[in-house]
Amino acid sequence: MTKKPNILLFGIDSLRSDHMSLYGYDRLTTPHIDKYIAEGGILFENMFSPSIPTTPGYASMLTGLDCFGTDCVALRHEGGLLDSIKTLPEILAENGYTSTCIGFKGNAASRGFSKYIPYEDWQPDKAESMNAAAIPELKRLAKQKKPWLLFMRHMDPHSPYYTKKPFDRLFYAGDEFDKNNKSLNPVYAFKPFRDYFLSWFPEGCTDAEYIIAQYDSSVAYMDMCINQILETLRLTGVEEDTIVVFTSDHGETLYDHDCYFDHHSIYDNVLNVPLAIRYEKFPYAGKVPDICQVKDMVPTLLSLCGIDAGIRFDGRDLTKVFTDEGIRQESEFYITEATWMRKHGWRTPEWKLIVALEPDFHFKPPVELYNLIDDPGENNNLADRESEVVAFLTARMKAHIKKRESETGRKNPMLTNRNWNGFGRPFKSSEEAYNSLHIGDPEAAKRLQAKLSEMGVGD
């Protein structure tokens, strides 16, 4: 009997697709991934993770279900996934696979792996720490007779953006301490995150472009380290029998929409994520323009493995894009966020509707509407001028919610995951949210800045 293919899955946290040279970014941030996919891979140009942030994003990615199916929308999801749900490693185990997860234990979606390996993912040298764990494990898995899944949660694009020399100057040649540059003033003034930023921004930094360059440099550093994993895969002799996947749970806000250097909100810079797959035994390659979602990952991977799990997934088998059978299009879809704000909405190829379920700490209007064709950056809120469009999209969203509630037999998790903010109650005003939500400690910020200076990080 022919051995089923292995799966090497790069789950790269906070990777914004439009900051990858793979997707046309003008900075060469992912040259090794670019080359690897260009040699025979598939690039999905319009991949979305519609439920923000990490917890629901990975829950959908590793189950093939939408947020109604997983009953998970909150970052601070309480409890695990439903017992009725099977995760990708659980399905694979039923089909003779073994699996290893690196750096993801404790997340609700991490259930079912045969082995868990931690690594130092919240300090400098994140990707090198990943390699120290992943490369020996890849070599071990490659020697065994069973097919395997190796899932790696890379954290380099996730703040704090720790960038070591010479990567810290790779995309920046200015003066990050220029006192005439005021671009970071609003960032420092944002009280909920200020102490967190002070813990990793270089002391006295004034230029937002420097911080953005550190994000890009972190991606480039990670790309270099990922190439070491790809080279190891080649040397083991199992590359031809391995499906290699690059994707992310969500993007990153950087400096956009006043949601500084994080990944809350449901603007497209957070929703739009990469998906690239290479499997040498799959006879197709190229670019796929169709809109797809992270819920499509599991049915697609199982199809490539020749596995029928007997599960009715919410996601679709994307391999059918290349066959005469084709797939049904899902050009409009429900979007959610339950991180630092609680919002949901509806996205079509032309319009984006965002509705706040309670006041947010950015003091944004309760309803936002953007024309994605005329205003792809989502900077011009048309909600007051286009009331008929708001009403139409709201009706579409409510009809979808009603349909999915009926199909799952559960209320919309945006209404039932009530402890999303850690306070167990909704906020009554933006002022309350602004004064309640906070990350970082002032004294810890000072200590960490001193430590980073000693290590030469951010010098």
Q: What pLDDT, in 10s, does the model give residues 94-139?
A: 999 999 999 988 888 899 999 999 998 888 899 999 999 999 999 9
Task: Give the pLDDT band of residue 451 (cuts 50, 70, 90).
Answer: very low
Average pLDDT over residues 176-196: 95
CA distances from 395 to 10, 107, 219, 346, 429 (A): 37, 34, 40, 10, 26
Q: Architecture of 333-433 per CATH? A: 2-Layer Sandwich (3.30)
pLDDT at 428: 96
Task: Give the pLDDT band of residue 442 (cuts 50, 70, 90).
Answer: low
Q: What pLDDT, in 10s, does the model give residues 278-311?
A: 999 999 999 999 999 999 999 999 999 999 999 9
* Phi (first) and psi of residue 63, to 5 degrees: -125, -20
Task: Give the pLDDT band of residue 453 (cuts 50, 70, 90).
Answer: very low
Q: What pLDDT, in 10s, does the model give residues 22-41?
A: 999 999 999 999 999 999 99
Q: Is the pLDDT of residue 236 over 80?
A: yes
Task: Give the pLDDT band of residue 72 (cuts 50, 70, 90).
Answer: very high
- Preceding omega of 160 cis (within 30 degrees of 0): yes
Residues 6+ apart with CB under 8 A from 140: none
* Phi (first) and psi of residue 399, to 5 degrees: -65, -40
Q: How far apart are CA 353 and CA 381, in angstroms?
A: 10
Q: What pLDDT, in 10s, does the model give residues 383-412?
A: 999 999 999 999 999 999 999 999 999 999
Domains 6-330 and 333-433 alike in fold? no
Task: Tell me which H or E stretch contains 101.
Answer: strand 98-102
Angle, alpha carbons 40-44-48 (nearest 5°): 150
Question: What pairing do the DSSP bridges indicate for beta strands 115-117 and 333-338?
Answer: unpaired
Residue 77 class from Cβ within 10 Å (0-12 exposed, 13-18 middle, 19+ buried)? buried
The CATH number fitting domain 6-330, selected from 1.20.1440.230, 3.40.50.880, 3.40.50.280, 3.40.720.10: 3.40.720.10
Average pLDDT over residues 225-248: 97
Domain boundaries, the chain: 6-330, 333-433
Q: How far apart are CA 316 and CA 299, in angstroms?
A: 6
pLDDT at 441: 65
What's the pTM? 0.94
Q: Are 226 and 154 in contact (CB under 8 A)?
A: yes
Q: At what angle do helices 191-198 and 442-455 cross, to 10 degrees?
A: 30
